[in-house]
Structure 1
Amino acid sequence: MSDNSTTTVRAIFETREAADLAVEHLVQKHGIPRPDIIIQAAHDENTAGSTPSGGDVSSTGDARNDAPLAGEIEVSADIAANQLAAIQRSLGEIGAMRVSGR
């Protein structure tokens, strides 16, 4: 008999770039459907992360000032419970500040 239980995994990232990388890992490495993954501000304010990265940094290294850097970004997804340990490990390896599952 197989276990069909699910759990929610949440990971916190400093940059939108890192959050986007996490989504790609979840989709490509772990087979999580993209529509099942949620990216949102980890706190009440809208944010592009707490550190400039990717498109927020110009080619000269200057950070844009039109994207709010007001806090971390949360990536979450409902996953099969038996995938939790592998996904937590994978998200930690790509730079998640915190990873939780419940």
Structure 2
Amino acid sequence: MSSDNVKTLTATFDTREAADLAIEHLVQQYGIDRSDVFVEAKGSENTAGTKPSGGDVENREGDGVRTDAALDGQLQVSVDLSLDDIDKAQAAFREAGARDVTSR
């Protein structure tokens, strides 16, 4: 992507499930190239978010919430995209429950 026409949009998510949903929308619904999308822990700790979701919800025995999930902070998703794609990427982030959507 030409750097003259590129912005980086960043958002934080409370769960890995929400971050994955945002990525899925960006790629499948809005046609953003997956190689332009990045996900990482917002802080320095390994994390799957701030609360259980998806596979972190129930243990294998089905009798309660797992206690081994790394719930050590929010996840950050960023995407490098053309200026023409800013609105649809913001929509994908918000639809998935993003917090603190920013661009630079």
**Counterparts of 1:50 and 1:77, CA distance in 2:** 22
Q: Which moved more, 1:16-25 or 1:56-65?
A: 56-65
Q: Is the 8 A contact 2:19 2:96 kept in 1?
A: no
Aligned to 1:55: 55
Please state how far the C-alpha of 1:42 moved relative to its aligned partner: 0.9
**Counterparts of 1:100 and 1:92, CA distance in 2:** 12
Q: Is the 8 A contact 2:9 2:103 kept in 1?
A: yes
Q: Structure 1: which 4+ aligned runs deviate by more than 3 Å? A: none
Aligned to 2:72: 70
| TM-score, normalization by structure 1 | 0.87
**Counterparts of 1:48 and 1:41, CA distance in 2:** 8
Structure 1 residue runs without a partner (length 5+): none
Change (3 A) 1:61 1:83: farther
Change (3 A) 1:53 1:91: same
Name the count of aligned residue pairs. 99
Cα RMSD over matched residues? 1.6
Aligned to 2:36: 36
Equivalent positions of 1:1-102 (< 5 A) are: 5-58=5-58, 60=62, 62-102=64-104
Q: Which amino acid aligns with 1:17?
A: E
Q: Which moved more, 1:86-95 or 1:7-16?
A: 86-95
**Counterparts of 1:20 and 1:58, CA distance in 2:** 18
| TM-score, normalization by structure 2 | 0.85
SS at match of 2:19: helix
